[in-house]
């Protein structure tokens, strides 16, 4: 799905230099490399504060925790995401409330949110799935009307723009992941929380480091969730390339689109994209509407082409979420998407010839199966 070695080869000397710099300075946890990266990340995302953490999951968890989300509270989110999005809500004793997706964008359908708001609703977590921003204007409008927090799960969408604004800086808090396969991937785990709210930033800075602002002066109960110096130094090198890489992903997606749009049995999402509304294609995902998604995946695999299903089981139907008592059929569009989506390899270094090869095999499959 990705070729991380190809990326490393293209910036090897810079990365190696960054790593040995950290080792030389012994700045392994916190310190100047983390601070430098936080500063550059905040600038890139056009937010006031960015705080490096252990993972994207921790960013989501600490966001909710810092906002005081607790048992009895409800948090509205999408059932079509990575498990962490809902897991963190449950982990705090609050209740995830799922709202079905818009089948075209795969993101939470803002039109369906209002009817799920109760007196216990405290926050909405939109996910910018696959790198395509959720419809934030309507979500922010509802949040204002009902006095709710908005926490953007931007783990798949670093650099994506919504109405000219970078995601992660639109809601109260933005959460990012540097899991190695993400668009901005570390060589291990890592995450970032962004906010324009200084009070929230101060709280996160406390909580993520054992509730101590000054070493050994613990004023709060916190956790240990810090970004490593080596990861920060690596990410700081990579951040310089993120625009270029995201643009290349967009070109890959365009090539796929041009070939796949003519195939019966495949449905592509249709978006209006421009300079102000972008999709950074963390994943390139389409729907197979003739019921042969799994057969297509198998056939591509035979030719050495990897595919993935993000995500095969909607969150509301996962075993861990059984206690919420959602039934099959309760989130029609999400369940349909889970049965029909397929993601193809996408990364900046993916060559045109390979894209052509993959698309050819897909074309052949549908020609033979018709
Ligand atoms: C990757 C991801 C996360 C979790 O990030 P980690 O860094 O792996 O903890 C959360 N939400 C979404 C949508 C993700 O893609």
pLDDT tens digits, 242-296 = 999 999 999 999 999 999 999 989 999 998 999 999 999 999 999 999 999 999 9
What's the pTM?
0.98
d(CA 118, CA 303): 51
pLDDT at 370 over 70: no
Pocket lining: 81 vs ligand 1, CB cutoff 6 Å:
yes
Q: How far is the CA of 254 from the centre of ligand 1 (A)?
A: 25
- The 10s digit of each residue's pLDDT in 129-153 is 999 999 999 999 999 999 999 999 9
Q: How far is the CA of 24 from the centre of ligand 1 (A)?
A: 31
Structure tokens at 46: 């056009």
Q: What CA–CA distance (Å, rounded) separates 78 from 85?
A: 8
Indicate which atom in ligand 1 lies nearest the CA of residue 58. 9
pLDDT digits (tens, 9 = 90+) for 315-357: 999 999 999 999 999 999 999 999 999 999 999 999 999 999 9
CB atoms < 10 A from the CB of 217, how many?
8
Q: How confident is the model at residue 368 (pLDDT cuts 50, 70, 90)?
A: confident
61 lines ligand 1 (CB under 6 A): no
Which string of b and e fits 246-279 if b means at least 16 CB within 10 Å? bebbbebbebbeebbeebebbbbbeeeeeeebbb
**Cβ contacts of 307 within 8 Å, gap of 6 or more:** 1, 296, 297, 300, 301, 342, 343, 344, 345
**33-82 confidence digits (pLDDT tens):** 999 999 999 999 999 999 999 999 999 999 999 999 999 999 999 999 99
User: Of all helices (H) and strands (E), which one includes residue 78?
Assistant: none
- Does 2 score more than 90 pLDDT? no
pLDDT tens figures, 194-230: 999 999 999 999 999 999 989 899 999 999 999 999 9
Which residue from 156, 173, 231 has its CB within 8 A of the most atoms of ligand 1, so it is best to mutate? 156
> 315 C-alpha vs ligand 1 centroid, how far in Å?
14
359 lines ligand 1 (CB under 6 A): no
Q: Measure the CA dihedral 143/149/154/157, to 10°.
A: 20
Compute the distance from residue 311 Cα to the ligand 1 centre, in Å: 13
The 10 Å Cβ neighbour count of residue 242 is 18
Structural contact between residues 140 and 150, judged by C-beta atoms closer than 8 angstroms: yes
Q: Ligand 1 pocket check: which of 79, 84, 89, 129 to mutate, most ligand atoms within 8 Å of Cβ?
A: 84
Residue given tokens 């395509």 in the structure block: 132
Gap between the Cα atoms of 11 and 244, Å rounded: 13
Q: Using one digit for the tens of pLDDT, what is the confidence trace for 75-127?
A: 999 999 999 999 999 999 999 999 999 999 999 999 999 999 999 999 999 99
With the most atoms of ligand 1 within 8 angstroms of its CB, the residue from 85, 127, 168, 189 to mutate is: 85
Question: CA–CA separation, 300 vs 323, rounded Å?
Answer: 37
Distance from residue 35's CA to the centre of ligand 1 (Å): 22
pLDDT of residue 367: 87
Residue 231's pLDDT is 98
Q: Which residue's CA is the nearest one to ligand 1's atom 5?
A: 56
Q: Ligand 1: does its nearest atom lie under 6 Å from the Cβ of 286?
A: no
- Determine the distance separating the centroid of ligand 1 and the alpha carbon of 59, expressed in angstroms: 9
Distance 11 CA to ligand 1 centre (A): 25
Indicate the pairing of strand 341-344 with strand 284-288: antiparallel
Give me ligand 1 centre to Cα 290, in Å: 30
Pairing between strand 74-77 and 95-98? parallel
d(CA 45, CA 167): 7
Separation of CA 14 and ligand 1 centre (Å): 27
In sequence order, which residues have a C-beta less than 8 Å from that of residue 68 and are 6 or more positions away?
122
The Å distance, Cα 115 to ligand 1 centre, comes to: 27
Which ligand 1 atom is nearest residue 57's CA? 9
Would the CB of 225 count as within 6 Å of ligand 1? Answer: no
């Amino acid at each position: 799905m990705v070729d991380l070695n190809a990326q490393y080869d293209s910036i090897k000397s810079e990365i190696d230099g960054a790593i040995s710099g950290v080792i030389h300075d012994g700045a392994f946890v916190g310190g100047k490399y983390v601070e430098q990266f936080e500063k550059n990340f905040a600038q890139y995302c056009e937010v006031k504060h960015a705080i490096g953490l252990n993972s994207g999951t921790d960013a989501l968890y600490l966001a909710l925790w810092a906002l005081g989300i607790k048992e009895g509270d409800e948090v509205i989110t999408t059932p079509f995401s990575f498990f962490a999005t809902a897991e963190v809500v449950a982990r705090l004793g609050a209740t995830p409330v799922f709202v079905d997706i818009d089948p075209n964008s795969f993101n939470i359908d803002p039109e369906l949110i209002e009817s799920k708001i109760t007196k216990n609703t405290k926050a909405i977590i939109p996910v910018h799935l696959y790198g395509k921003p959720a419809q934030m204007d309507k979500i922010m409008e509802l949040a204002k009307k009902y006095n709710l927090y908005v926490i953007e799960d931007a783990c798949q969408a670093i650099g994506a723009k919504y109405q000219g604004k970078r995601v992660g800086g639109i809601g109260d808090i933005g959460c990012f992941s540097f899991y190695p396969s993400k668009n901005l991937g570390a060589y291990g785990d890592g995450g970032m929380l962004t906010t324009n709210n200084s009070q929230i930033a101060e709280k996160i800075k406390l909580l993520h480091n054992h509730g101590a602002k000054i070493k050994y002066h613990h004023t709060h109960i916190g956790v240990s969730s810090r970004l490593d110096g080596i990861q920060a130094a690596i990410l700081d090198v990579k951040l310089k390339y993120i625009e270029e890489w995201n643009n290349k992903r967009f070109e890959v997606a365009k090539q796929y689109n041009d070939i796949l749009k003519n195939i019966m049995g495949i449905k592509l999402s249709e978006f209006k994209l421009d300079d102000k509304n972008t999709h950074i294609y963390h994943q390139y995902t389409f729907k197979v509407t003739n019921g042969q998604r799994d057969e297509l995946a198998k056939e591509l695999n035979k030719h050495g082409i990897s595919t993935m299903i993000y995500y095969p089981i909607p969150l509301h139907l996962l075993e861990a979420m059984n206690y919420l008592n959602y039934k099959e059929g309760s989130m029609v569009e999400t369940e349909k998407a889970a049965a029909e989506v397929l993601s193809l390899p996408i990364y900046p270094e993916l060559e045109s010839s390979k894209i052509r090869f993959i698309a050819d095999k897909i074309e052949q499959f549908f020609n033979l199966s018709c």
